A and B are shown apart, each in its own frame.
Chain A
Amino acid sequence: MINNTILVVIAASAISYGTPLLFAALGELLAERSGVLNLGVEGMMLIGAVSGFWAVQTVGGPGWVVLLAAVVVAALAAAATSLIHAVLTISLRASQIVSGLALTIFAGASGLSSYIGHVASLGGKPARHEFDAINVLGLQDTPVIGPILFHQNALTYVSWVLVVLTLLYLYRTRPGLHLRAVGESPATADAMGVNVTAYRYVHVMIGGALAGIGGAFFSLAITPGWLDGMTSGAGWIAIALVIFAFWRPELALVGAYLFGAFSSLAFTLQARQVHLPPEVFASLPYLMTVIVLVLVSTGWARQRLGAPASLGVPYVREER
């Protein structure tokens, strides 16, 4: 059957394993567009994973209500976590790098997320509800595109909508224009009457919320259940992905699926008797990011595609 051929299998799994990367990368992209680099993505994803799973075990009601609630809880919990970073870097003007790293260490594996998981004894329990792949419009068995496009879970379809919304927001709305201005030149935006602090707070927290949903994707869809450190580095890949995608949502989608493909490619090839060390695939996202970084460090590319000009720089009105 054609739907079991290697390319279809790889494409379908690229999307399912790329989706959490896409959520987290879109969030980080919005935060970075406002000029705030948040290296705490991994920590926020783990908070999302644990709180989402807690909600799915605790909230009552029909399956879809419980799952919806779980996603909301995951987003809120991770957004609250990102508030720490926002206060430290925007209001207190701490180093964004140090604060972000501290956030991942504080909230991540063997940190707050594992504490919550242990206290609520979430480990080793099957999920009461999980996001299953949906047979969209009954098209899942369509040759080639069926398993790739019409047999994913609800969150994947939500992420597609989110990419479109982010694109429209960034390039077709006034707040989007303001956001880009805040990231490029906060002083100019300030002079225009844009509230730089508010924009940065809101987008760091949206970034946190989306990272939380990405984390919940692990505990509610990929391997329903909770485990300490279960995102195993996806947050770092998401940060690399934002650079790889030149801070553009549509390229984040492409990059997320490319990086998602690498995560299971080693097994797919091995099952088909192609033997390559799995470490090669695990390192590919980083290798590709380094290559992109080298490419964009040329003058032309930096002008055309580079990072928001004020990324990583705290904004202080008096020091204009």
Chain B
Amino acid sequence: MITLFQKAGLRYLFTHPWQTFLSSLGIMLGVAVILSIDIANESSGKAFDISMESVTGKTTHRLSSRQGDISLSNYTKLRTDARIKISAPVIEENVKVLVGEGFTATFLGLDPFSEKEFRNFISADLTGGDTQLAQFLSSSNTVLIPESFAREAKINSGDTLSLKWGDGFLSVVCVGLIKSNEDVSGDRIEQFIISDIETARKLFKKGDFVSYIDLILTPSEVETITKTILKDPVLQLSAAEKSNETAKSMTEAFRLNLNAMSLLALIVGLFLIYNAMTFSVVQRRKLLALLRAAGVTQKDIFIQVMAESIFIASIGTIGGIIGGIFLGKVMLGFVTQSLNDLYFVTTVQTVSLSPLIILKASLAGVGGTIIAAMFPAYEAARTSPGVSLKRSSVETKLKKKIVLFSIISFALLVIGVTILSVSGTGILTGYFGIFLLIIAFALQTPAVITFFVKVIEPIIKKLMGNRGKIGVRGVTANMSRTSVAIAALAISVSATIGVSTMISSFRGTVVDWLEQTLVADVFVSSQGLVSRKNEAVLDTSLIQRFLLIEGVKTLDFYSEGSGTINNKTVEVFGSHIDPENESRFNLKEGNSGTAWEEIREGSGVLMTETFAYKWKYKVGDQFTLQSPSGLIALKVSAIYYDYSSDVGHIAIDYNHFKKYWKNQKISGIGVYLKDNVDITVIQKNLRLMFPEESSVSIRLNKDLRDYSIEIFDRTFVVAGLLHILSVIVAFIGVFSALMSIQLEKEKEMGILRATGLTPGQMLKMISVQTFTIGLIAAIIAIPLGLVLAYCLIYIINLRSFGWTMQMSIDPVVLFQAIIIAVSASLLAGLYPAYKMSVTLPSKSLRDE
């Protein structure tokens, strides 16, 4: 049974819909942000698994040739001599589908009789059933394509497709669409064209060769292959699982950072909830006092306020979940883009929603609200009927506590700094330390308010007279309200300062680095289908051919291979650096003179800063690297700055690399031109050396730099979006705080209005107050923001990625912060001010 008293509580919420809405809105935003980040993370993670699986399937190993295609005789040997049970030959080619503006696609020639253990391409439902499958197999030019790709490229079953491959054209008939199988694949865009392997073998004139052979191997089979087939040095067996895992762990730091940002939004959200609940208690102080006087117990009131807060939390959480799903879709776009840019190629469209992340968001919303509402509920229940009628008692108490707050704040500061300095490389502990610093700053709010108001009060009085003074003093007079609002605003704004400074410092560092590193005039590289690294596909003969081009001065080039150190896969670059270009490596540690000597003679390696950080190597350290043809003893000669990937790599001299990674192709070539050479002509000439739809990219220095910066900027779009959200949350916080202040002071204002204050004057007075609030928030936000920036740059980013950045403080960012704080505050005060000013004095004073 709901008692009359409880009904009255609920009724209150319904009779004040706007207030209920505002309170819910804060929770809603907080929940939405958390949920959306989770959705983005989870969906992109799932998409990653799927895109890995859709290409590699359940493959454990892949047998390929270092010289390109692999002879089918090896497939025969695998099945007959080595008696390997599960194997599938694959032909993979890049083609351009000539439909509309054209789509680049991966053409896969598969053997459906070997495939069922590997991929679900063919075993997936065909929209037209088995007849299509029969057609697919029993004609010499038939293909299947995934439904999603067909939709995008506007291809129908039965269409004849023209494909551009190399210099030639191919014609194939699409005989069926593969249904996107939601539970396995989500709605991924699969830019694939699938044919029977025999069809592909003829189309691409493969003769007795295929691209590679996929395998599902048991450990003993791996041994058998190693002992038999791999005696041929041209062949290589690579473990698929391992590279998937490596690729996945790469993104962990990135995800963790996103999660942390969503937590920041939650902190701001909690402040807001606290504020909202306090407001609702304040509003009914008189009513609650009467109830207490009428015999309602403290416990009843406490439960009542808590129940209300849960009700509001429910509305907010439900709204937040709905909003979070929509926001999640937006976020997913950005996150996927960043992951694509940084790590691997994947496209997700389906939002994956697990009960777990919904539960997490709900818990944050409801649990957070319960915690935040405790104090107001306690406040409402605690005070005696008489005192409860006056809020000034709370204010008096708060003022007494300023010193206590300062002491706690100082203690938290010390603990926070200690945690940050002793926590080593922990990212989570890093965030916890930062969290303590934020709380420490927030606790200083009442002190800052008191001090600041004292300072500006005489100035304002001089400028605006008593009305201004009243306005300013209002900030201290209602400190229990204003301090929370100011703290919330300050935290949001400081986050803006912190993250903006971090990004601009990072950006500045990267731009400097790009300037210094990207000195070649033209870059030639080829990007892989799944992995974001440049695949070694360029033939070594290109080096000679490039050098023959008129106008080319020198070349730098590198080949990317992999090796293992202590059984962990690492990326190894075999780099040929023209001695003239050595200076483009900005060494962090190591002597540039001896380092290059060691590297050229083969005993030394160059290591990226990120690699050294993660592997804990210093200059002079020695280690053994497992290469395809044996162990190499190496020494860290130098560590250099590199912002190209957070995984990092080691680089050895190309001539040396060549000995161990036999037949390895080239991953990228940097071309240096003679003076006064038309760069675009060279670019065109280079382009002509490759077929049109080959994945080789030929970029000019400037283009590559712009492209790199573009990728960089895209990476931080998510961060930017989160800021906007937390500022919105803060804005709502300030808005509801000001509303509550103004509503409380209805009578006071009534008196002022009755004594002759015009609505315009009143508006001015309130604006002075909101302006002061904004200014104080900015004053707290700037140092806090800089502290945050420092922590993000030197603690969080270093621990997550291993990059050193030069912190640079942009005055524009600080100025922006002040503008944001003040304008948010002023704007939030407008409506309450307007409402106050139009209220008839008689109405406000009727009760007196």
> Do A and B come from the same complex?
no
Binding site for A on B (CB under 8 A): none
* Contact surface of A with B, Cβ cutoff 8 Å: none
